[in-house]
Amino acid sequence: MPQTAHSRWFGVRKDLSKGRAAALMAASFLLPLGAWAIAAYGPFWEVAYQVSLSAESPHLQVVHVPGEKLTADSWQEFVSAVQSDNAAIIEAQSKGTPNESSARQNKKVLRQIVPAALANGWIEKGHETDDEAIRNVWQQLAAGELTSPVMEISDDNLAVIKSNAAVLSAAKPDWPTVSLLKLLPQAETKVSRPVYLIPPHEVALAGWKSLQAVAPEPNSDSSDASDRKTLLQRYGESLRTIFLGFLLGAMVAVPLGILAGTYDFFSKLFEPFIDFFRYMPAPAFGVVLMAIFGLELGPKIMLVFLGTFPHAVLMVANTTRQLEKPLLEAAQTLGANQRQLVTRVVIPGIMPNLYNDLRILLGWAWTWLVIAELMGFKSGLTEIIDTRGRRFQFEHVYPAILLIGISGFITDQILSSLSRVFFPWTHSSPSMVGRFIGRVTQAVRGAIDAFTADREPSLPRSKTSKSLP
Amino acid sequence: MIATLSDLDYRRQAPVVQERFDRLKQRPHVLDVVGLSKSFDAAHGPVVALENINFSVHRREFLCVIGQSGCGKSTLIRILAGLETPSHGQVLVDGLPVSGPGRDRGMVFQGYTLFPWLTVKQNVMFGPQMAGKSGSISEGEARQWIALVGLDKFENNYPHQLSGGMKQRVAIARALANEPRILLMDEPFGALDAQTRAQMQNYLLQIWKNIDITILFITHDLDEAIFLADRILVLDARPGRVKEVIEVPVPRPRSMEQFVEPEFLATKQRMQELIHPRSDSTQHQLPVLRMTRAGDDVE
């Protein structure tokens, strides 16, 4: 058997080649995205017809209003019913005995155009019952004077419009007493997915639009609080909550943790209670926090704090305890006193691990964000998630959720790569950025050395007989 | 060779060596260990690690402490460094009793205890800075000590960029930068490979020659002890007691060639008798279980 060690995908604790690793890392994101796309675009969902232009017919049991969704069968039934109505009118006309009709009925027929007229801006909002204006629209359409930027009128319907316009002009200024042709129903085809399953492109589109919005969204029900601020403004609110909560947690937890990890006194004094306290879920204190800190930003920050702080103290204490004891002993034999042991050995020694702890702490802060923002007056991205979700507008919910995820993930990745810059001594091969910064600091130090050497030409030499081995 | 070996007494010293010991013994004591005992509380009652240890180290003497593993060598040196307290007895440096770690006793540990976040230079500056010396003074001193151990080119490197031998040289420089009265070394070359180890032993003797320092060196390597030491303190195990103090009859300057000289071999044989008295007894023999017939001519 030839050796094919390099081509194995599965080897216990064996690293894959760089190319394969990169491919798998890409797949790690593409697979879930693919699953989402298959679920959304796959042939699992019925196609529905959402009525945009409706018509009434005596042959139908029900009246279909614009916006209603119909199955393929009932749509077909609807269209053929209206077609047969029109056929009857045309037949009567050709026989020379046109069907009689009242002005009221004909006005009703003309009003069929209203949804398209509103969408295309042919009539103003509030003029839906202005029959003269509507009649004017029909005439203009027949003359080809109007464009339809939003809702197209089908060719069949344009024929109907022209035919009716001729009848209307003939009767002018009175309303005709013969039956007008009905507009054929028009509909947009929609895939009827479950309400929560929004296809990726719609989420991306909705997210992109919300991100670009500089002014609050002019929505029909703008009385609602969730429409008064843009996505980015809400994102800013969320970032502020997270950051302040994290900062407060870190500022309290780091000193306590270092104390507990350094001195057994503080370890025994703090840790047992904190260990107990962390098992009480932070949201359970929500009502207490609101009673103390009000309904605005205060309780939200405090919730993030309560959720992260107990874990952080224990984690930092543990990190501090993991500093190798021989380092402390070495420092003692070098003459370090108790205070110097803490400031010159413990604190610098645990820095890289402490930095990682804080990264994890920030990750926790993100998980507490949603619960925090639901407290009191809802705020931030959570408000979008909550209110839009209640209205089943999931295409606005997912961008907000994704924004939280992406922010947390990217922040962590950046902090992780910065770790190499801050702590060059923990990595055998410094990263590109680390090498660059190292070179810069060395150059600066060199310049300072050269400068000070000029001013103090001779360094004090106290030893007498020291030579190279 | 073997015949001459048994003839030669390890206590017989050439005139040069004898003169040297006479001069050495006239020098004042830097370290005195008086009636030192140490016992630990274990689950099955107290364990005596050290029992009534007495010895002295003269100024600029190189003393090695040797013994089986578990004989309390490390406990002894940790008590000397002040990292542990004795149950009885005391340790005197220049006649004054010590309590706790101090700048007068530098220590080099078996593991690498350089501060990983400091460069070589900053590591060596650590002691002087703890003593309150200013940055520029301690930096100047540190440079000299780094030069002494031959690492001037690496003064701005971090410990993780150095080899094991270089790390221990920095550790020696760091301990010496405090200008201690005595340098305590706890199997400092134990983790190094054989070649680096031999090199480090050479370096250490050169450093010792160059400066006024007394060295107490713990090892379990007989060759190392004989190569380095003026006198060798042989510890007995369980409880740790001083079994014998050997005056090494090998003249200085020392070199690798001396490893086969009769004085060297006689001393080594004596130490083997002291440390492994029953090494040939049957309890160290494995049972004979032949599981192969291939290559029956291996012995």
For B186-203, the DSSP string reads ESTTTTS-HHHHHHHHHH
- On whether any CB of chain B is under 8 Å from the CB of A452, the answer is yes
Q: What residues contact residue B284 under an 8 Å CB cut-off, 6+ apart?
A: B278
- In this prediction, what percent of chain A has a pLDDT beyond 70? 87
The helix/strand/coil state of B210 is helix
**Which of B101, B147, B211 comes nearest A333 by C-beta?**
B101
Cβ contacts (< 8 Å) between A458 and chain B: which residues? none
pLDDT of residue A222: 45
> Looking up tokens 């009859």, which residue turns up?
B249
Strands B88-93, B45-58: parallel, antiparallel or unpaired by DSSP? unpaired
Give the pLDDT confidence of A32-67 residue by residue, as tens digits.
999 999 999 888 888 888 888 888 888 888 888 888
pLDDT at B285 over 80: no
pLDDT of residue B1: 44
DSSP β-bridge partners for residue B243: none
Average pLDDT, chain A: 84
Cβ contacts (< 8 Å) between A332 and chain B: which residues? 82-83, 100-101
Asked whether residue B31 is domain-assigned, the answer is yes
**Which of B83, B127, B130 comes nearest A329 by C-beta?**
B83
- By residue range, what is the domain housing residue B169? 114-179
pLDDT of residue B160: 92
Contact between A108 and A132 under an 8 Å Cβ cutoff? The reply is no
Q: By CB neighbour count within 10 A (0-12 exposed, 13-18 middle, 19+ buried), where does B284 fall?
A: exposed
Pick among B130, B141, B176, B181 to test the A interface (most A CBs inside 10 A):
B130
Both B76 and B222 in one domain: the answer is yes
**CB contact (8 A) between residue A336 and residue B130:** yes
Using only the alpha carbons of chain A, give its radius of gyration.
37
Asked whether residue B141 is domain-assigned, the answer is yes
**Which of A327, A335, A461 comes nearest B131 by C-beta?**
A335
Cβ contacts (< 8 Å) between B147 and chain A: which residues? 466, 468
Both B194 and B49 in one domain: the answer is yes
The nearest alpha carbon in chain B to A336 belongs to: B130
**CB contact (8 A) between residue A466 and residue B130:** no
Both B187 and B40 in one domain: the answer is yes
The two structure tokens encoding residue B57: 């180290």
pLDDT of residue A227: 55
pLDDT of residue A242: 92
Q: How many other β-carbons are positioned within 10 Å of the β-carbon of residue B162?
A: 18
Pick among B77, B78, B83 to test the A interface (most A CBs inside 10 A):
B83
Both B41 and B151 in one domain: the answer is no
CATH, residue B24: 3.40.50.300
pLDDT of residue A203: 92
**Which of B113, B140, B144 comes nearest A326 by C-beta?**
B113
Give the pLDDT confidence of A158-183 residue by residue, as tens digits.
888 888 888 888 887 788 888 888 88
**pLDDT band at residue A461 using 50, 70 and 90 as cut-offs:** very low
User: How far apart are alpha carbons B111 and B171 in whole angstroms?
Assistant: 10
- On whether any CB of chain B is under 8 Å from the CB of A447, the answer is no
User: How far apart are alpha carbons B124 and B172 in whole angstroms?
Assistant: 9
User: How far apart are alpha carbons A469 and A1 in whole angstroms?
Assistant: 56
**CB contact (8 A) between residue B130 and residue A452:** no
Q: What residues contact residue B19 under an 8 Å CB cut-off, 6+ apart?
A: none
**Which of A428, A462, A468 comes nearest B147 by C-beta?**
A468
In B94-225, the DSSP E strands lie at: 96-97, 105-108, 182-186, 214-219
The helix/strand/coil state of B62 is strand
**CB contact (8 A) between residue A329 and residue B113:** yes
pLDDT of residue A163: 86
pLDDT of residue A135: 86
The Cα-based distances of B280 to B273, B283, B284 in angstroms read 11, 8, 7
CA B249 to chain centre: 18
pLDDT of residue A156: 85
Q: Give the count of domains, chain B.
A: 2
pLDDT of residue B6: 52
**CB contact (8 A) between residue A466 and residue B147:** yes
Strands B29-42, A47-53: parallel, antiparallel or unpaired by DSSP? unpaired
Compute the C-alpha angle B62/B68/B69, nearest 5°.
105
Judged by CB atoms within 8 Å, which residues 349-378 of A form the interface with B?
Answer: 349, 351
pLDDT of residue A186: 86
Residue among A88, A94, A57 at smallest CA distance from A74: A57
The two structure tokens encoding residue A469: 């081995």
User: How far apart are alpha carbons A357 and A351 in whole angstroms?
Assistant: 10
Both B126 and B96 in one domain: the answer is no
Asked whether residue B265 is domain-assigned, the answer is yes
Sign of CA dihedral B13, B15, B18, B24: negative
Both B152 and B236 in one domain: the answer is no
**CB contact (8 A) between residue A461 and residue B144:** yes
**CB contact (8 A) between residue A335 and residue B140:** no
Q: By CB neighbour count within 10 A (0-12 exposed, 13-18 middle, 19+ buried), where does B51 fall?
A: buried
Distance from CA of A340 to the nearest CA of B (A): 8
Give the pLDDT confidence of A400-453 residue by residue, as tens digits.
999 999 999 999 999 988 988 899 888 655 455 555 666 676 677 677 666 655
Per the model's pLDDT, the better-predicted residue between B187 and B293 turns out to be B187
Domain boundaries, chain A: 47-191, 225-436
**pLDDT band at residue A339 using 50, 70 and 90 as cut-offs:** very high
Residue among B97, B50, B109 at smallest CA distance from B233: B50
The two structure tokens encoding residue A225: 């609080």
Give the pLDDT confidence of A239-284 residue by residue, as tens digits.
999 999 999 999 999 999 999 999 999 999 999 999 999 999 988 9
pLDDT of residue B288: 79
Asked whether residue B218 is domain-assigned, the answer is yes
pLDDT of residue A429: 53
Distance from CA of B206 to the nearest CA of A (A): 6
- On whether any CB of chain B is under 8 Å from the CB of A466, the answer is yes
- On whether any CB of chain B is under 8 Å from the CB of A337, the answer is yes
The helix/strand/coil state of A191 is strand
Rounded to 10 degrees, what is the CA torsion of A75, A81, A84, A85?
-130
Sign of CA dihedral B25, B26, B30, B33: positive
Residue among A392, A50, A401, A34 at smallest CA distance from A194: A392
Both B185 and B141 in one domain: the answer is no
Distance from CA of A261 to the nearest CA of B (A): 19
Residue type, A424: P
**pLDDT band at residue B188 using 50, 70 and 90 as cut-offs:** very high
The Cα-based distances of A317 to A279, A310, A355, A359 in angstroms read 18, 11, 13, 16
DSSP secondary structure code for residue B230 in this structure? S
Asked whether residue B280 is domain-assigned, the answer is no
Identify the domain boundary among B159, B179, B199.
B179
Q: Residue range B64-73: average pLDDT?
A: 86
Using only the alpha carbons of chain B, give its radius of gyration.
21
pLDDT of residue B294: 78
Compute the C-alpha angle A70/A74/A80, nearest 5°.
125
Average pLDDT, chain B: 88
Both B94 and B219 in one domain: the answer is yes
- In this prediction, what percent of chain B has a pLDDT beyond 90? 60
The nearest alpha carbon in chain B to A467 belongs to: B148
Strands B182-186, B214-219: parallel, antiparallel or unpaired by DSSP? parallel
Asked whether residue B175 is domain-assigned, the answer is yes
Task: For domain A225-436, give its CATH number from 1.10.3720.10, 3.40.640.10, 2.40.50.140, 3.40.50.460.
Answer: 1.10.3720.10
User: How far apart are alpha carbons B149 and B39 in whole angstroms?
Assistant: 38
Phi, psi (deg, nearest 5) at residue A74: -70, -30
Both B124 and B223 in one domain: the answer is no
**CB contact (8 A) between residue B211 and residue A467:** no
The nearest alpha carbon in chain A to B157 belongs to: A425
Pick among A325, A333, A337 to test the B interface (most B CBs inside 10 A):
A333
**CB contact (8 A) between residue A468 and residue B150:** yes
**Which of A348, A452, A459 comes nearest B117 by C-beta?**
A348
Residue B250 host element (H or E): none
User: How far apart are alpha carbons A373 and A369 in whole angstroms?
Assistant: 6
Residue among A333, A441, A453, A343 at smallest CA distance from B139: A453
The DSSP-derived string for A415-466 is: HHHHHHHH-GGG-SS--HHHHHHHHHHHHHHHHHHHHHHHHS-S-----SS-
**Which of B109, B150, B203 comes nearest A326 by C-beta?**
B109
Both B171 and B37 in one domain: the answer is no
pTM across the whole model: 0.76
Contact between A412 and A362 under an 8 Å Cβ cutoff? The reply is yes
> Looking up tokens 């990890």, which residue turns up?
A261
Asked whether residue B293 is domain-assigned, the answer is no
- On whether any CB of chain B is under 8 Å from the CB of A449, the answer is no
Number of A to B CB contacts under 8 A, please give it: 110
Give the pLDDT confidence of B25-59 residue by residue, as tens digits.
999 999 999 999 999 888 888 888 899 999 999 99
Cβ contacts (< 8 Å) between A461 and chain B: which residues? 140, 144
Both B185 and B98 in one domain: the answer is yes
pLDDT at A378 over 70: yes
**Which of A333, A428, A461 comes nearest B107 by C-beta?**
A333
User: How far apart are alpha carbons A418 and A427 in whole angstroms?
Assistant: 12
Both B99 and B189 in one domain: the answer is yes
- On whether any CB of chain B is under 8 Å from the CB of A457, the answer is no
